[in-house]
Amino acid sequence: MINLHKSLIFSILLLFTSCATYYEVNREFNANFEKGRLEEAEKVLAKKEKKIEKSKERLLYYLNRGVVLSLMGEYRESNEYLEKAYLYTEDYRTNYLNEAAALLSNPIFTAYRGEDHENLMVLYYKALNFLKLGEYDNALVECRRLNIRLQQLSDKYKSEKKYQQDAFIHTLMGIIYDAKKDYNNAFIAYRNALDIYRKDYQEMFGVSAPDQLKEDILRTAYLTGFMNEYELYKKEFGMENYKYKPNDGGTLVFFWNNGLGPVKSEWSINFAVVHGAGGVVNFTNEEYGFNFPFTVPYNEQDQSTSLKDLEFFRVAFPKYTERPEYYTEGVLQANNSDYKLELAEDVNAIAFRSLKERMLKEFGKALLRVALKKAAEHGARKEDEGLGAAVGFLNALTEKADTRNWQTLPHSIYYTRVPLNQGQEKVTLKLKSPQTGTLHEEVFEYQVQKGETIFQTYSALDFKSVLDW
């Protein structure tokens, strides 16, 4: 009994150090990253590398390291970590011992395996790294991987109105084929993206197909010789005056990764228990209109293990907290012309939607977890009231949601295409925050070759302060 009590005390001490959210645990890294102190952020991560292979946050380490190195211009090293992240999710095997521990404590006992959109975005970063290195064939490999993951996502939610297709990923694939002058596959990818923007993105996220995508569809249709589609889409887009104009110089494709994606935090609600016949208990919450039935062991002769004394308890669930965009307008200026950066992917909205879509599953898992904890508590009280009280305290202390997520993703992704003349060219990026009137300018210079596609990404890490983390 003494050893058991010691174990409980030790466990409680450990849990006091793990009650913080994932964001709070990594506050040093987050503070450096959010302020753009990339070298300091990289040093924080580098110090953890020796321990990471046994960590349940291994995937997030690889992802964060990949993002930081990419922003530092270390594209090859970035891809080494992103590839580790990709392989980790591909080769993931469920650890049933950890799953059992999670049911008796909380979900952080299991290894983090990534949200659906996160597992797509890892290949977005990899593809962009290859594009910046001028390695289009390697970027196409990531395209094929993206296609496979998109198909897996579609199969996972077949016939359900859920996030199962990604318009921006199809747009990216089109852009890569376009740079390779494979206009046929580029047109197909662009057309697929258009369909998803119309069928899913407009309704789910309020994001319409960018005008740049429409222009790319018309251009690649013309270059492929699909004249029927070319004329059809001109009318459909209301762009009857569009005419394809050959570009004697090169092209700049510019991606603006704006702000930072949401942070997972925790919320909790209280449930009451309504007992039914045959061991059925209903976990109810009148405020939200929730009712979840569970069948638990029931024995009229031994009420102490039947959960009959259970009347009221708290259950923790994950939630997202948005980090709102600071800049909401962006434009590129080149050769006395303006090119608006258009929203192509609202990562923040997709994250919120994805979590909402699986909340019923989250409720079920959390309630099962609490039911098993309470059963253990009642069993312990039968043996010893003090031990039962300690188990009850430990149960309350361990009730925690999984607050892990990829927190270095952008809030939103914007893009545009800019025609450039041969030779030395200058492009000015202007970002604006309408609420504050803040204007940020950045100048980029390029040595442009004829027929070349130049890829540029710019990450604005600024976001509006949120105080409830």
Helix, strand, or coil (residue 390): helix
Contact 391, 376 (CB under 8 A): yes
Contact 432, 328 (CB under 8 A): yes
As a 3-state breakdown, the chain gives helix, strand, coil percent values, each rounded to 5, of: 50, 20, 30
Checking if the pLDDT of 4 tops 50, the result is: no
Q: Virtual CA dihedral for 433, 437, 443, 449, nearest 10 degrees?
A: 50
> Residue 283: pLDDT band by 50, 70, 90 thresholds?
confident
Per-residue model confidence as pLDDT tens digits over 49-93: 888 877 889 999 999 999 999 999 999 999 999 999 999 998 865
Backbone phi, then psi, for 27, in 5-degree steps? -60, -40
pTM here? 0.84
Checking if the pLDDT of 239 tops 80, the result is: yes
Contact 388, 4 (CB under 8 A): no
> Residue 304: pLDDT band by 50, 70, 90 thresholds?
very low
* 251-261+323-346+411-463+465-469: CATH topology: Immunoglobulin-like (2.60.40)
> Residue 358: pLDDT band by 50, 70, 90 thresholds?
confident
Pair type for strands 423-433 and 438-448: antiparallel
Q: Who's near 143: CB < 8 A, 6+ residues apart?
A: 127, 172, 173, 176, 177
Sheet of strand 290-295, all strands in order from the earlier edge strand to the far edge? 290-295, 280-285, 263-275, 312-321
- From the number of C-beta atoms within 10 Å of its C-beta (0-12, 13-18, 19+), residue 148 rates as exposed
Sheet of strand 329-334, all strands in order from the earlier edge strand to the far edge? 337-340, 329-334, 423-433, 438-448
Full 3-state SS string of 102-138: HHHCCHHHCCCCCCHHHHHHHHHHHHHHHHHCCCHHH
Contact 444, 429 (CB under 8 A): yes
Mean pLDDT of 275-295: 68
What value does the mean pLDDT of the chain take? 84
Residue ranges with strand state E in 187-249: none
How much is the pLDDT for 273?
A: 67
Contact 282, 291 (CB under 8 A): yes
Q: How far apart are CA 162 and CA 433, in angstroms?
A: 32
Checking if the pLDDT of 469 tops 80, the result is: no
Contact 464, 324 (CB under 8 A): yes
How much is the pLDDT for 154?
A: 80
> How many helices (H) does the chain have, and how many strands (E)?
18, 12
Exposure on the CB side of residue 413, measured as CA atoms within 13 A: 21
> Residue 395: pLDDT band by 50, 70, 90 thresholds?
low
Q: What is the DSSP string of 242-275?
A: ------SSEEEEEEEEES---EEEEEEEEEEEEE
Q: How far apart are CA 418 and CA 333, in angstroms?
A: 9
Q: CB count, 10 Å around CB of 40?
A: 15
Helix, strand, or coil (residue 402): coil
**Length, in residues, of the chain:** 469
**Domain locations in the chain?**
251-261+323-346+411-463+465-469, 265-319+359-398
Nearest alpha carbon to residue 197 among 189, 186, 188, 206: 206
Nearest alpha carbon to residue 284 among 203, 191, 275: 275
Per-residue model confidence as pLDDT tens digits over 361-385: 777 677 777 766 666 666 666 776 6
In this structure, which amino acid lies at residue 193?
A
The percentage of residues in the chain with a pLDDT greater than 70, rounded to a whole number, is 77
Contact 70, 78 (CB under 8 A): yes
Six-digit token pair at 75?
Answer: 């594209």
Six-digit token pair at 80?
Answer: 């080494």
Mean pLDDT of 423-447: 91
How much is the pLDDT for 14?
A: 46
